[in-house]
């Protein structure tokens, strides 16, 4: 093969891009930073936006496609304009496209590849949609049995879709085994990461604790994410109310969502705070470092970046025994309880607080540093998964363009 480009163009095409926050956005921006710092490749991001726009900054290009808001969601939009997506892909001319969705955009990528057969396709399984958006939605409307049957169909659909891609990865061993059983050959496993230099206990701020109603020896609980039914935000409030009043505990819930205003009104006389979405990462790191325990009631977390960030900041975690929490929170780093049980969660919060001198927070920090960092994530993605997809689709010569160019720089990371 001859005449290949001097550098590759790597493209992310996703529906799951929120103007404010979200794990996918964090992943994409960290990936872009890695690609620009550690490779010679160009990076293009195609996402829904308020209006059509193209922004270029050196080797980085962002293409926003005007899209309507998702009903009931203040931050997410529906990217449904297939022709506009195809036009954006023709403009970017990517050598590789990664999709983190399972709806219309992967099929658009497949359509583009039929006309550009050397384009490699990678699918990332960032959301367990058959459980989160199919079974959970249908169960209260059609009954548990019908919901389970439709969920099985959704998994079959997903496996049929992902088999068409040149590489497929999940975020956990459990998901990889599940899709392996459905016939996908050797899915990759890509653990996500956290900025362990940013998220550290050194950012603790006593003035912030005072602002949030927490004294030096009273518990401050923290949650970061969407404040809605899917994330089980209300259950966190109910669990908080189970703590002894004499503790004078505080709860801060960072983020936005359709339940935020209602919960704010309901909790107006309690020591529960709703600062809204925090878009400054340093401020977010200070919130985490200033807290004592991270709490989450989300049942179907596919990875849990905020959990890893909290652990990097030295926080034990109290969550539920489901989804990615099973992998993220071993008994030495926190406590997991049954889903939907505020009494059990309240008891686990109390147990972790009373055990705070056992070094659980220090172990959580060490665990995050050893196992989860963005450089480790993207070294595997960019230097292992992407070359495998390029070899399968376009040949060895293209995959060879994604090699670690600076060994000393790689070691420094």
Per-residue pLDDT reduced to its tens digit, 200-253? 999 999 999 999 999 999 999 999 998 988 889 999 999 999 999 999 999 999
Look up the domain containing 15 and give its range: 9-193+373-412
48-62, 132-146, 202-216, 257-271: least confident range: 132-146
Decide: helix, strand or coil at residue 310.
Answer: helix
Does residue 183 sit in the same domain as residue 327?
no
Does residue 165 sit in the same domain as residue 297?
no
Decide: helix, strand or coil at residue 42.
Answer: strand
218 phi/psi in degrees, rounded to 5: -115, 145
- Please give the model's pTM, rounded to 2 decimal places: 0.82
CB 345 within 8 A of CB 337: yes
Does residue 244 sit in the same domain as residue 353?
yes
CB 119 within 8 A of CB 112: yes
The structure tokens listed for 49 are 């936006």
pLDDT digits (tens, 9 = 90+) for 250-277: 999 999 888 999 999 999 999 999 999 8
Is residue 139 included in any domain, yes or no? yes
Does residue 364 sit in the same domain as residue 379?
no
How buried is residue 341: exposed, middle or buried, by Cβ count under 10 Å (0-12/13-18/19+)?
A: middle
Neighbours of 75 (CB within 10 A): 18
Domain CATH number, residue 189: 3.40.50.2000
> % helix / strand / coil in the chain, to the nearest 5?
45, 15, 35
Mean pLDDT over each residue of the chain, to the nearest integer: 91
Is residue 3 included in any domain, yes or no? no
Q: How many domains does the chain have?
A: 2
Does residue 166 sit in the same domain as residue 104?
yes
Does residue 388 sit in the same domain as residue 316?
no
CB 372 within 8 A of CB 308: yes
Does residue 170 sit in the same domain as residue 212?
no
Estimate to the nearest angstrom the gap between the alpha carbon of 223 and the chain centroid.
15
Does residue 241 sit in the same domain as residue 144?
no
Reported confidence tier of residue 398, pLDDT bands at 50, 70, 90: low
| Residue 20 vs residue 267, higher pLDDT | 267
The structure tokens listed for 238 are 């109910």
Is residue 32 included in any domain, yes or no? yes
The structure tokens listed for 393 are 């689709």
Neighbours of 299 (CB within 10 A): 20
Does residue 346 sit in the same domain as residue 273?
yes
Query: Average of pLDDT values for 124-136?
Result: 88
| Cross-strand pairs, 167 | 122
b/e for 115-130, b at 16 or more Cβ within 10 A? Answer: eeeebbbbbbbbbbbb
Does residue 350 sit in the same domain as residue 391?
no
Is residue 1 included in any domain, yes or no? no
Query: What pLDDT does residue 405 have?
Result: 56
Reference 21, options 97, 74, 80; nearest CA is 74
Is residue 2 included in any domain, yes or no? no
Does residue 183 sit in the same domain as residue 225?
no
Is residue 53 included in any domain, yes or no? yes
Does residue 63 sit in the same domain as residue 185?
yes
């Amino acid at each position: 093969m001859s005449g290949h480009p001097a550098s590759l163009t790597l493209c992310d095409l996703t529906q799951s891009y929120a103007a404010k926050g979200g794990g996918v956005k964090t992943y994409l921006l960290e990936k872009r930073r890695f690609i620009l710092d550690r490779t010679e490749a160009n990076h293009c991001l195609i996402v829904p936006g308020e209006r059509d726009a193209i922004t270029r900054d050196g080797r980085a290009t962002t293409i926003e496609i005007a899209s309507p808001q998702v009903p009931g969601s203040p931050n997410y939009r529906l990217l449904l304009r297939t022709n506009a997506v195809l036009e954006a892909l023709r403009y970017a001319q990517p050598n590789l496209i990664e999709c983190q969705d399972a709806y219309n955009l992967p099929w658009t990528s497949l359509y583009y590849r039929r006309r550009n057969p050397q384009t490699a396709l990678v699918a990332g399984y960032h959301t367990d949609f058959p459980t989160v958006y199919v079974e959970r939605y249908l169960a209260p409307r059609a009954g548990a049995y019908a919901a389970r049957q439709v969920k099985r169909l959704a998994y079959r659909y997903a496996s049929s879709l992902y088999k068409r891609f040149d590489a497929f990865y999940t975020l956990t061993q459990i998901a990889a085994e599940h899709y392996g059983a459905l016939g996908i050959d050797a899915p990759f496993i890509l653990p996500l990461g956290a900025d362990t230099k940013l998220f550290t206990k050194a950012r603790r701020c006593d003035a912030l604790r005072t602002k949030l109603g927490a004294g030096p020896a009273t518990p401050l609980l923290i949650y970061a994410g969407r404040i809605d039914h899917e994330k089980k935000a209300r259950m966190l409030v109910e669990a908080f109310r189970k703590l002894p009043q004499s503790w004078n505990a505080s709860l801060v819930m960072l983020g936005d969502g359709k339940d935020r205003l209602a919960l704010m009104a309901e909790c107006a006389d309690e020591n529960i705070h709703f600062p809204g979405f925090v878009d400054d990462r340093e401020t977010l790191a200070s919130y985490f470092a200033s807290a004592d325990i991270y709490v989450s009631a989300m049942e179907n977390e596919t990875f849990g970046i905020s959990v890893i960030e909290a652990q990097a900041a030295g926080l034990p975690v109290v969550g539920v025994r489901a989804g990615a929490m099973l992998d993220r929170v071993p008994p030495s780093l926190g406590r997991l309880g049954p889903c939907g049980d505020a009494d059990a969660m309240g008891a686990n919060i109390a147990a972790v607080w009373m055990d705070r001198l056992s070094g659980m927070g220090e172990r959580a920090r060490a665990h995050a540093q050893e196992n989860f960092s963005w450089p480790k994530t993207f070294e595997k993605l960019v230097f292992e998964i992407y070359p495998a997809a390029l070899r399968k689709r376009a040949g060895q010569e293209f995959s060879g363009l994604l090699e670690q160019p600076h060994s000393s720089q790689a070691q420094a990371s």
